[in-house]
Structure 1
């Protein structure tokens, strides 16, 4: 009888440990593979908006001082929010969204961005198609991903991330001839993207709501 009681206690202890490790939700769960979802998707991709394995981020997440107050407000509203997981998912989303844009896949873009951003990307894709041009770009590496700003607007968490990346860019004509760029030389690129998510939403994925080039 003592043996049975001891085994039962061990079972309860193990079960509690498993729950503590696996039972908590993070703000950008995988998939974002989310990345890539869990990354790419990631990636951001359920496919969930992020079903591909994400690129690893530093153990200490990069956050500008001006974003600290906003991050604290988001964590208060959503205690499950995890900055490191968010940055991993953001990097996965960055790759997935760029690749969908380069391929001219507006439907895929719609999985990760809001209507306004999708319209902007779609307009650029159509302009490219009208000119008979095809892009053959490659994201070589994301050198840095830093949270520059963060805020809580009602129940909406809004976070702006600066991406410093190396991209090999080539533009071809309809016959496949290179008219600009080179795949042998990566060009440093600096983008500022803003993501948003309702803190009470069941969907753990964030949506891209604004894009800009870094100043």
Structure 2
């Protein structure tokens, strides 16, 4: 009989996927406000319209249930005369300020025009101006940081606007506005200084963005 002891079995560590599944395991109906409040929480953090399928997948709910909750929320906001509403646009849902309060929102945004743009806003605006139409992911690839908040600021200032969506990924594309040209005293984009050669080409941006998602 051998004096060597049998090797001790070591419990295998859970796979990364299993840990992630446990971390995000939940039942939306267990939250204080239930599924409807969970949907609201997601809608508060999206910058682009989110589809019913995407919501259903994230919250593990049937698509029909999600659609019913969205419709109910829209009706609830209208009945309560809230300053915001839910709208279905571009194949998805997003929270918008109610049109009845447009004068208030417009005054707030125009008052904000007097504030100077931050360095981050100026850099993001430059990338969009020279590489438009361009998606937020490509702008982020150039700057090396998330630009969601900065893009919202530029949209609110009226310096950039949505120019449709990317046919491949469906992401919104952004470009500068006539107001942008007015503020710079330019007649057209062709009068922009020759800065473009210092920015990566579009195919390079795609490669960088793809690496960032890998």
More strand by share: 1
Q: TM-score, normalised by structure 2?
A: 0.23
Taking CA–CA contacts closer than 8 Å with sequence separation of 6 or more, which of the two structures ends up with the larger relative contact order? 1
Which protein shows a greater Rg?
2
Query: TM-score, normalization: structure 1?
Result: 0.23
